[in-house]
């Protein structure tokens, strides 16, 4: 019996012209989104490779280790093909310099605002917006359409239990709509091989999970369609209701929730924070200058009152010692400033994650948000991307700074030795070393590690569960409504 009913459903769906048209559109869009995603990924990868090789080249051309600075970039992730998330909104690179904060800047959108005008299209976008509409378009008249055409009471006038009928409807709709969608998805995945996108094992795992969640999301809308269809008498009314529900869930709630959180939670602005840091630096610099001045007085104290030439000789003798002490002061100051900045950044981050938690909590009333958030977690393009990279870059800066400091010392020593040999020591110092490039072949490289699969999947368990709950509730609701449906 069940099998018969399911077959009937499948036939009804797969043979309707509505299906052929909308399925065609969805397939094209799925493949288009993956194709464009792959192209964009390759463009980002090319840009990344050029940028890093330019950095390497600049290092190779440098003539001194003093004040050497470099930049590190975020490497493009293949998963961003499927879900671009905030990848293009967040900075691509950070300056690495002993005196500067590690901060991601120059996002792709801020450098090329053209792409910010309409933004990107990715697989997750198509699933979130188009496929959900597709699901509604097919199930809005699942029950009341049959009632209107009179076939519902004909079927139920036979010994067909209502429960079986509804289950058959659900299964048939699900099979008839979801299975065909796997075809364009698989074809889209083929593009990954065709364009030689480097996908690791964990990437494939993340991708499979993403596809699974997409199917769950789609299932929710099938269930929703069935629910509304079994609650209303006419199909035009259910369509209107479903459209309003779709607009609310997919287009309105996600944005509205973020906006609400923005109004409700107060976060200090970047400008405030930057000025705070500047002020601290200025204060510290003044302190250090004072200390250095005192140090100078201390060092020069024995030469107090002596004639000019003797004073100068004394100064020459003690100059390097004084310099070293002054530099130590400066280094100590820099370390304190770095620590203070780190704390300030930490405070800011905490306030922001408060705000974020509230925003996402509110938005999770809509399965569309739950889906998008999961997709971003799996794609590694969620809002924690900033913290992840900045932390790694900060750690790299430590390594880099100690390397440069060591090399600087070596260079200085070599130069001092050379200066002692040359008569024009003063001129030599002022015009810098020669024009040969330094040997920086042993410079530590920045290698970022991507988020491990386990963490990404664990982060999406909440949303996965939420989507399942939504779906189960919708099906249960449809069940209850249909059992009491007036089929006349």
Partner 1 sequence: MFNIILDKELREIIGTTKFAVTFGVCAVLILLAFYVGARNYQVSRQEYEAAVAENIQQMEGLTDWGSIDHRIFLPPQPLATLVSGVSNDIGRTVNMQSRGELRTEGSRFNEDPLFAVFRYLDLEYIFAIILSLFAILFGYDAVNGEKERGTLGLTFANPVPRDQYILGKIVGSFVALIVPLMIPILIGCLMLPVLGVPMDMDSWLRLAMVILAGILYFGVFLTLSVFMSTLLQSSSASLMALLVVWIFAVLIIPRTSVLVAGRSVDVPSVDQIDYEKSRFAAQLWNERMTAMQKWMKANYNDDHRQMRDGMRTFSTEQQALQDEKMNTFVEQLNEQRANKSDLRTGVALSLARISPTASFSLAASDLAYTSMELRSSYVESANAYQQEYSAFMQSKNVDYWGRYRRHGGNDDVEEPDPIDTRELPVFSYQQPPISEAIKASLPDLGLLFMFNAIFFSGAFVRFLRYDL
Minimal distance, residue 372 CB to partner 1, in Å: 7
Does 292 participate in binding partner 1 (rule CB under 8 A)?
A: yes
DSSP 8-state secondary structure symbol assigned to residue 234? S
The Cα–Cα gap between 190 and 185 comes to: 9
Minimal distance, residue 103 CB to partner 1, in Å: 9
Does 275 participate in binding partner 1 (rule CB under 8 A)?
A: yes
The Cα–Cα gap between 447 and 442 comes to: 15
Minimal distance, residue 381 CB to partner 1, in Å: 10
Binding test (CB under 8 A) with partner 1, winner from 59, 191, 252, 487: 252
Q: Which residues contact 201 (CB under 8 A, 6 or more apart)?
A: none
Cβ atoms of 440 and 59 closer than 8 Å: yes
Does 114 participate in binding partner 1 (rule CB under 8 A)?
A: yes
The Cα–Cα gap between 207 and 201 comes to: 10
Task: Please say which residue, 381 or 471, places its beta carbon nearer to partner 1.
Answer: 381
Minimal distance, residue 163 CB to partner 1, in Å: 29
DSSP letter string, 177-212:
HHHHHHHHHHHHHHHHHHTT----HHHHHHHHHHHH
Cβ atoms of 143 and 155 closer than 8 Å: no
Minimal distance, residue 459 CB to partner 1, in Å: 14
In angstroms, the Cα distances linking 416 to 307, 364, 412 are 29, 65, 6
Q: Which residues contact 114 (CB under 8 A, 6 or more apart)?
A: none
Binding test (CB under 8 A) with partner 1, winner from 2, 45, 59, 129: 129
Minimal distance, residue 54 CB to partner 1, in Å: 4
Q: Which of 403, 481, 412 is nearest to 443 (CA)?
A: 403
Does 255 participate in binding partner 1 (rule CB under 8 A)?
A: yes
Minimal distance, residue 371 CB to partner 1, in Å: 12
The residue range among 84-92, 154-162, 217-225, 441-449 that interacts with partner 1, by the rule CB under 8 A, is 84-92
Cβ atoms of 134 and 223 closer than 8 Å: no
Task: Please say which residue, 74 or 168, places its beta carbon nearer to partner 1.
Answer: 74
Does 247 participate in binding partner 1 (rule CB under 8 A)?
A: yes
Binding test (CB under 8 A) with partner 1, winner from 97, 178, 202, 355: 355
What's the token pair of residue 146?
């049959």
Does 240 participate in binding partner 1 (rule CB under 8 A)?
A: yes
Q: State the binding string over 89-108 for partner 1 (x if CB under 8 A, else -).
A: xxx-x----------xxxx-
Does 297 participate in binding partner 1 (rule CB under 8 A)?
A: yes
Q: State the binding string over 37-76 for partner 1 (x if CB under 8 A, else -).
A: --xx--x---x--xx--x--xx--x-x-------------
Minimal distance, residue 23 CB to partner 1, in Å: 12
The Cα–Cα gap between 468 and 143 comes to: 23
Minimal distance, residue 164 CB to partner 1, in Å: 28
Cβ atoms of 91 and 104 closer than 8 Å: yes
Task: Please say which residue, 230 or 345, places its beta carbon nearer to partner 1.
Answer: 345
Task: Please say which residue, 107 or 401, places its beta carbon nearer to partner 1.
Answer: 107
Binding test (CB under 8 A) with partner 1, winner from 189, 356, 401, 412: 356
Does 195 participate in binding partner 1 (rule CB under 8 A)?
A: no
Binding test (CB under 8 A) with partner 1, winner from 133, 152, 207, 242: 133
Q: Locate the DSSP E strands across 339-480.
A: none
Binding test (CB under 8 A) with partner 1, winner from 173, 216, 257, 456: 257
Binding test (CB under 8 A) with partner 1, winner from 1, 20, 264, 270: 270
Does 116 participate in binding partner 1 (rule CB under 8 A)?
A: yes
Show the DSSP H helices in 265-307 as ranges: 270-300
Does 332 participate in binding partner 1 (rule CB under 8 A)?
A: no
Taking the CA atoms of 430, 436, 439 and 445 in sequence, report the sign of the dihedral they define: positive
Binding test (CB under 8 A) with partner 1, winner from 158, 198, 417, 430: 430
Give percent helix, percent strand, percent coil of the chain, each to the nearest 5. Answer: 75, 5, 20
Does 177 participate in binding partner 1 (rule CB under 8 A)?
A: no
The Cα–Cα gap between 104 and 481 comes to: 53
Minimal distance, residue 396 CB to partner 1, in Å: 19
Q: Any bridge partners for residue 96, and if so which?
A: 70
The Cα–Cα gap between 391 and 451 comes to: 13
The Cα–Cα gap between 190 and 45 comes to: 20
Does 259 participate in binding partner 1 (rule CB under 8 A)?
A: yes
């Amino acid at each position: 019996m069940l099998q018969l009913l399911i077959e009937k459903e499948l036939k009804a769906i797969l043979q309707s012209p509505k299906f052929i048209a909308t399925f065609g559109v969805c397939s094209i869009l799925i493949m288009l989104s993956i194709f464009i995603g792959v192209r964009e990924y390759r463009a980002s990868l090319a840009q990344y490779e050029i940028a890093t090789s330019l950095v390497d080249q600049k290092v190779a051309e440098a003539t001194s280790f003093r004040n050497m600075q470099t930049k590190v970039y975020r490497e493009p992730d293949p998963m961003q093909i499927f879900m671009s998330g905030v990848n293009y909104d967040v900075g691509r690179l950070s300056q690495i310099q002993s005196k500067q904060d590690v901060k991601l800047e120059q996002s792709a959108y801020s450098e090329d605002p053209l792409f910010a005008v309409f933004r990107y299209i990715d697989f997750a976008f198509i699933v979130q917006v188009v496929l959900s509409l597709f699901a509604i378009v097919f199930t809005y008249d699942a029950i009341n359409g049959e009632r209107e055409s009179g076939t519902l009471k004909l079927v139920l006038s036979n010994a067909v239990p209502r429960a079986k009928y509804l289950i058959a409807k659900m299964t048939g709709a699900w099979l008839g709509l979801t299975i065909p969608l796997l075809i364009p998805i698989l074809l889209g995945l083929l593009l990954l091989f065709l364009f030689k996108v480097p996908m690791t094992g964990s990437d494939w795992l993340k991708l499979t999970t993403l596809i699974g969640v997409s199917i769950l999301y789609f299932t929710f809308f099938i269930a929703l369609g069935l629910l509304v269809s079994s609650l209303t008498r006419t199909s035009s009314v259910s369509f209107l209701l479903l459209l309003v529900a779709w607009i609310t869930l997919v287009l309105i709630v996600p944005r509205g929730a973020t906006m609400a959180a923005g109004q409700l939670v107060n976060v200090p602005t970047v400008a405030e924070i930057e000025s705070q840091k500047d002020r601290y630096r200025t204060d510290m610099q003044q302190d250090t200058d004072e200390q250095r001045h005192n140090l100078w007085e201390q060092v020069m104290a024995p030469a107090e009152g002596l004639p000019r030439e003797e004073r100068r000789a004394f100064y020459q003798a003690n100059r390097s010692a004084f310099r070293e002490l002054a530099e130590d002061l400066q280094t100590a100051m820099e370390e304190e400033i770095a620590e203070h900045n780190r704390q300030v950044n930490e405070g800011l981050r905490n306030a922001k994650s408060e705000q974020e938690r509230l925003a996402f909590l509110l938005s999770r009333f809509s399965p569309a948000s739950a889906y998008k958030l999961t997709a971003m977690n799996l794609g590694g393009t969620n809002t924690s991307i900033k913290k992840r990279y900045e932390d790694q870059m900060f750690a790299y800066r430590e390594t880099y700074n100690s390397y440069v400091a060591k090399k600087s010392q070596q260079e200085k020593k070599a130069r001092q030795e050379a200066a002692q040999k040359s008569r024009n020591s003063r001129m030599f110092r002022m015009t810098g070393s020669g024009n040969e490039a330094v040997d920086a072949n042993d410079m530590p490289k920045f290698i970022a590690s991507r988020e491990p699969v386990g963490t990404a999947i664990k982060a999406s368990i909440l949303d996965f569960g939420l989507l399942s709950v939504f779906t189960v509730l919708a099906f249960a609701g449809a069940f209850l409504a249909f059992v009491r449906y007036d089929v006349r």
